Amino acid sequence: MNEMTATAETGLETYRHWIDGAETDPEGGDWIESVDPYADAPWARVPRGAKADVDRAVAAAHRAMTTGPWATMSPSARAKVMRRIGDIVAEHAERLARIEVRDNGKLMSEMHGQTKYHPEWWWYFAGLADKMEGGVVPIDKPDHFAFTTHEPVGVVGALTAWNSPLLFIAWKCAPALAAGCAVVVKPSEFTSASTLEFAKLTKEAGLPDGVFNVVTGLGPEVGAALVEHPDVAKITFTGSDSTGRMIYQQAAKTLKRVSLELGGKSPNIVFEDADLDAAAAGAVSGIFAATGQTCIAGSRLLVQNSIKDKLTEKLVELARTAKIGDPMAPDTNIGPVTTPPQYRKILDYIEIAKGEGARLIAGGGPSDVGPNFVQPTIFTDVRNDMRIAQEEVFGPVLSIIGFDDEAEAVELGNGVIYGLAAGVWTKDIARAHRMAKALKAGTVWINTYRAISYMMPFGGMKQSGLGRESGVDAIREYLETKAVWISTSDAPPGNPFVMR
């Protein structure tokens, strides 16, 4: 990412903030160049926003929720708009995917799969919009009628990560809008283009102005202003645990509600009775798909010692035959690393692992395909206390750790600060249930990996975050419950100094 100010003479595709239903230039007139990781060259520019831009966007969102048509639309009417958003995204899925690939370098096959699946969140949460019913409470006080209602929490600030921008928009904004909230999105400065393209489609779908806003820029300038804004009621963030902690601290100053989807160091656990071909494919999917740039990466492969050598051989062969190259090509398996800082971080961790005594058996450095490429890398003889086994690398680097029995597998699996996901490979259904219960992770996959759905809640335990996205749990993150009491008595209230 080049943070230099871009000029009109650059010839780059120019994007603008999306505020109150219209494109708008940044207040300061500054821009950021977005670099295509595969071409290793700028292809677009996005606004370098400032606090003034955030103030305008939050004001627009606040108006939409208080005096605009969104404030008075019934949940069923909101649902109709949301269904149209899903329909229009489906029509533009391939174009949106191509924009994401240019921005983040991930495979077209994966990004197109995500953009085709994206509408399901809008359709699903449109269906929930008018189903979040309150209830009448059979209250213990005979002279009162009591009931509950659910109301939108308020303006939502959504901070998204660079690896799957539009997927995170679906996860965060579909339930927020279904709840009746208005949102201000701050995408990663590395991958803002697809979010801005999506914003234009919401207008086409008939979403009222101010309900969906996008301000691009740097985290310390735009992200911080959004988190600290007094009219923002909730922050939802996907990103690193270090940034998540800072956001949590900032949000606490104004007691904002917070959802955090943070890092992971997920164990992918293979028992000796597993289908080894399926487990090998699952291990590859867990760490080398998306170039390892996913929070749910199965970066720790825990293998029962009796089959460790056999499975390791399969993995080395798969890693060596993986095709590295153009992410737009349908037969490419591994694309470039999205950002230069992330590229350097991955290479640094490879050297750290070597220094700790882990044994390198595949990959281990830059690929000669071009800039920003890292070879699929496998280490064995890894101990669970090594940094390579404890810290999130966010790249195509796999650590293989042996274990003897189920108890040791659980101990190793839970032996990190994270608890986002885990995989278990076994044909023993009783063991599968025991492992699912014992592993401290928000998602546990049995004989599969990286499966997601708009119907299933997603989020972490321990230091992998707070709250849940997708499923019915997600919409509750954006609702407040209100208790309403009505006296049905005609008699005087009695002693006013005593609680009734």
Q: Three-state SS for 306? A: helix
- In contact, 271 and 426? CB cutoff 8 Å: yes
Residue with tokens 């640094």: 348
Q: Is 261 a catalytic residue?
A: yes
Q: What is the DSSP letter of 207?
A: P
Q: What is the DSSP letter of 324?
A: B
Q: Determine the straight-line distance between the first and last CA of the chain, rounded to whole angstroms.
A: 62
Exposure string of 102-123, with b = 16+ CB inside 10 Å and e = fewer, is bbbbbbbbbbbebbebbbbbbb
- The encoded tokens of residue 83 equal 């269904």
Exposure string of 402-435, with b = 16+ CB inside 10 Å and e = fewer, is bbeebeebbebbbbbebbbbbbbbbeeeebbeeb
Residue with tokens 């927020």: 176
Among candidate residues 33, 100, 295, 392, the one labeled active-site is 295
Question: What stretch of H or E contains 150?
Answer: strand 144-152
| Alpha-carbon torsion (413, 414, 415, 416), positive or negative | positive
String of DSSP letters for 429-484: HHHHHHHHHHS--SEEEES--S---TTS-B--EETTEES-BSHHHHHHTTEEEEEE
Among candidate residues 33, 100, 221, 261, the one labeled active-site is 261
Active site amino acids: 261, 295
